[in-house]
Amino acid sequence: MWLFLVVLGAVQIYAVRELLAAFALFVLGFGAIAGLVFSVYFLQKAWEAAVARVAISQNRLVLSARRTVAALEDLARRPVRRPDSEPAR
């Protein structure tokens, strides 16, 4: 009878230890996922701040790059051929 109670207690302790170990693994896994999500969010916010800072910059290189991009956008909006350049059929 006592042996049965000792075995039953040992099985209960083993089951609790296994459940605690599984819980610890889940906590580590979800913590790692949360860390990755936080780091991506932080990097995106840092990128936003850097782009905003460059956008208001009055540096000569930034101004030159802006003019270049504006000129390229203007060229991209122009048609490749003139509207009346189609050959007569």
pLDDT tens readout for residues 35-83 = 999 999 999 999 999 999 988 888 888 889 889 999 999 988 887 776 6
Residues 6+ apart with CB under 8 A from 62: 54
The pLDDT value given to residue 88: 59
In sequence order, which residues have a C-beta less than 8 Å from that of residue 12 and are 6 or more positions away?
Answer: none
**Which residues have a Cβ under 8 Å from the Cβ of 54 and sit 6 or more positions away?**
62
CB 62 within 8 A of CB 54: yes
Which tokens is 77 given?
Answer: 């909006």
Give the confidence band of 17 by pLDDT, cuts at 50, 70, 90: confident
pTM > 0.75 = no
Is 88 strand, coil or helix?
coil
The identity of residue 33, as a single letter, is I
Confidence of residue 3 (pLDDT cuts 50, 70, 90): confident
Contact 53, 61 (CB under 8 A): no
What is the structure's pLDDT at 41? 98
